[in-house]
Amino acid sequence: MSLQLFKALPTIAFSTVTPPSWALVKTGFDRNISSLVRFYRSAKIPVRGDHPLVRLLSGIPLNPTISLDSYYAHVLDISLEQAGLLRFSSEYSFGKPQRGIYYGKSCIEFILATREPFDYLATHEKWRSAIAVEPIYHSKSDLTMHPLIGRDYSDETGFNVIKINVPKLAVQYRAWVLNEQSRGGSVSDVTKFIGAYVLPNMIPRHAELALFNRIINRFYELPSPRAADLKFRHPIALPSFESHADDCIEILIENLKKTSKRFDAILMGLPAFRLKNLHQANLMPVVPANRQIEWLMLLSRLRALTFMADVGGENTRQINQAHFNDIHRLLASFDIEQAMIQHVPESVYFEASAMLSELMNRGGIR
């Protein structure tokens, strides 16, 4: 039992309806994302020596002399054990909430360690663009794509869920080390590797989720920060497409209100900056369905589920009754309420519990 809606793309093809000016928005943000990734990659701004990713990689033997096949097999075996030492959540551990790692100290962060399958040969070859760490949920709705360096750059607070594919990160790091050695460079500073490659490569997924949050905020008539409202700015100048994006969001919301759709059709109908649609941005990690993880998966998708239940009205809720039933069975199967009581800070628990109760009421489940 798991949230199948977010596990894979549907087999039925649903169209993505784009406003007339979306091509301008998509092209503009795609270029801005590329510019930011290139800038922060070349800037090589190191993270702190006590950053959890530094500590994680420091606990995994590098072994650059053994074969890649052997190295991958080894890190696959020890990855979640190392993650557990840092209080990350995983299929083996509930983990502990943290603060200030990626989104600033005003935000609560859950770090999910996985060992999802990936092409380790391709990752080793194309290590610069490998994405081993990325948000799967965050609470920001600005479109500035601020680097995730643990800075409180806006007043938006909440909880965030960050996924780390530990074996993939280790393979990427090994490739970087070998590249530095081939150039005669120093490989002792893992802080620069993380600052130059891992964190910048998180920007694309962060941007897609921020767009989704901005759409949700507009539907509920909640404010979203504008670039001019934020505390920090990028060191490089970028053209702004914020107002164009907001105009498109207005059209998207009005179109959604007029029709009743399946939840997957709603997600696939929302355009994204780089991905085909926002359903892809909301796909969850491929992890075992168990009590240690399912509470976090549900927590990360509660806002999306509530939005989809509301945006199309009563007819949409009736069409998607099977999803409400799935969530109800999920709650019972893994005792998620009790898991959240034990492992979620009080402020997050009360917010999530209220949202979950409202969601079940919308589905006619008491």
Least Cα distance to 49 among 198, 175, 202, 193 occurs for 193
Task: Answer whether residue 1 shows pLDDT above 50.
Answer: no
Give per-residue pLDDT as tens, 225-269. Answer: 999 989 888 999 999 999 999 999 999 999 998 888 889 999 999
Give per-residue pLDDT as tens, 160-186. Answer: 999 999 999 999 999 999 998 888 766
Residue 63's pLDDT is: 84
Residue 312's pLDDT is: 85
Per DSSP, helices labelled H in 10-110 are: 22-43, 52-58, 68-85
Return the higher-pLDDT residue of 106 and 8: 106
Q: Do the bridges between strand 158-165 and strand 98-99 make them parallel or antiparallel, or are there none, so unpaired?
A: unpaired
Domain definitions of the chain by residue range: 4-25+241-362, 36-217
Task: Answer whether residue 2 shows pLDDT above 60.
Answer: no
Place 69 in a pLDDT band, splitting at 50, 70 and 90: very high
pTM greater than the 0.85 cutoff: yes
| Cα–Cα distance, 40 to 199 (Å, whole number) | 9
Residue 212's pLDDT is: 98
30 residue type, one letter: D
262: CB partners within 8 A, 6+ apart: 14, 319, 320
Return the higher-pLDDT residue of 259 and 26: 26
In what side-by-side order are the strands of the sheet with 158-165? 98-99, 107-114, 158-165, 133-137
20 residue type, one letter: P
Task: Answer whether residue 13 shows pLDDT above 90.
Answer: no
Residue 258's pLDDT is: 86
Average pLDDT over every residue of 105-109:
95
* Structure tokens, 132: 């081993």
140: CB partners within 8 A, 6+ apart: 103, 146, 154, 156, 206, 209, 210, 213
Return the SS3 of 49. coil
Task: Answer whether residue 8 shows pLDDT above 80.
Answer: no
| Cα–Cα distance, 292 to 290 (Å, whole number) | 6
Residue 3's pLDDT is: 75
Q: Are 84 and 284 in contact (CB under 8 A)?
A: no
Residue 186's pLDDT is: 62
Task: Answer whether residue 59 shows pLDDT above 50.
Answer: yes
Residue 338's pLDDT is: 87
Return the SS3 of 328. helix
Q: Are 170 and 60 in contact (CB under 8 A)?
A: yes
Average pLDDT over every residue of 324-342:
86
19: CB partners within 8 A, 6+ apart: 247, 248, 251, 252
Identify the weakest region by mean pLDDT among 173-187, 270-284, 336-350: 173-187
Q: Are 320 and 262 in contact (CB under 8 A)?
A: yes
- Please provide the average confidence, as pLDDT, over all residues in the chain: 92
Average pLDDT over every residue of 185-204:
89
Place 187 in a pLDDT band, splitting at 50, 70 and 90: low
